[in-house]
Amino acid sequence: MAAGPSPSWFCLLFVFLLGGARAEGSQKAIPEQIHLSYPGEPGCMTVMWTTWVPAASEVQFGLQIGGILPLRAQGSSSLFVDGGILRRKMYMHRVTLRGLLPGVQYVYRCGSAQGWSRRFRFRALKSGPSWSPRLAVFGDMGADNPQALPRLRRETQQGMYDAILHVGDFAYNMDQDNARVGDTFMRLIEPVAASVPYMTCPGNHEERYNFSNYRARFSMPGDTEGLWYSWDLGPAHIISFSTEVYFFVHYGRHLIQKQFRWLERDLQKANNNRAMRPWIITMGHRPMYCSNADLDDCTRHESIVRKGLSGGRYGLEDLFYNYGVDLQLWAHEHSYERLWPIYDYQVYNGSRESPYTNPRGPIHIITGSAGCEELLTPFSPFPRPWSAIRVKEYGFTRLHILNGTHLHLQQVSDDQDGKIVDDVWLVRPKRGRRTYL
- Domain extent listing, the chain: 32-123, 130-427
* pLDDT bracket for residue 9 (50, 70, 90): very low
pLDDT of residue 26: 52
Name the average pLDDT for the chain: 93
CA distance 33 to 190: 6
CA distance 415 to 334: 14
**What's the CA angle centered on 424, arms 434 and 377, to 5 degrees?**
105
What are 120-174's pLDDT values in tens digits?
A: 999 999 999 999 999 999 999 999 999 999 999 999 999 999 999 999 999 999 9
pLDDT of residue 311: 81
Q: What is the mean pLDDT of residues 323-332?
A: 97
Fold topology of 130-427: Purple Acid Phosphatase; chain A, domain 2 (3.60.21)
CA distance 301 to 163: 34
| Residue percentage of the chain with pLDDT more than 70 | 93
**What's the CA angle centered on 206, arms 412 and 327, to 5 degrees?**
45
297: helix, strand or coil: helix
Q: What is the CATH number of domain 32-123?
A: 2.60.40.380
pLDDT of residue 431: 65
Q: Quote the pTM value.
A: 0.93
Is residue 23 scored above 80 in pLDDT? no
pLDDT of residue 245: 97
What are 69-101's pLDDT values in tens digits?
A: 999 999 999 999 999 999 999 999 999 999 999
pLDDT of residue 1: 46
What are 277-319's pLDDT values in tens digits?
A: 999 999 999 999 999 999 999 999 899 999 999 888 999 999 9
Q: What is the mean pLDDT of residues 43-52?
A: 98
* pLDDT bracket for residue 10 (50, 70, 90): very low
pLDDT of residue 12: 38
CA distance 143 to 120: 22
* pLDDT bracket for residue 434 (50, 70, 90): confident
CB crowding 195-222: b at 16 or more within 10 Å, else e:
bbbbbbbbbbbbbbbebbbbbbbbbbbb
Q: Which of 5-14, 316-325, 387-396, 404-413 has the lowest mean pLDDT?
A: 5-14
| Residue percentage of the chain with pLDDT more than 90 | 89
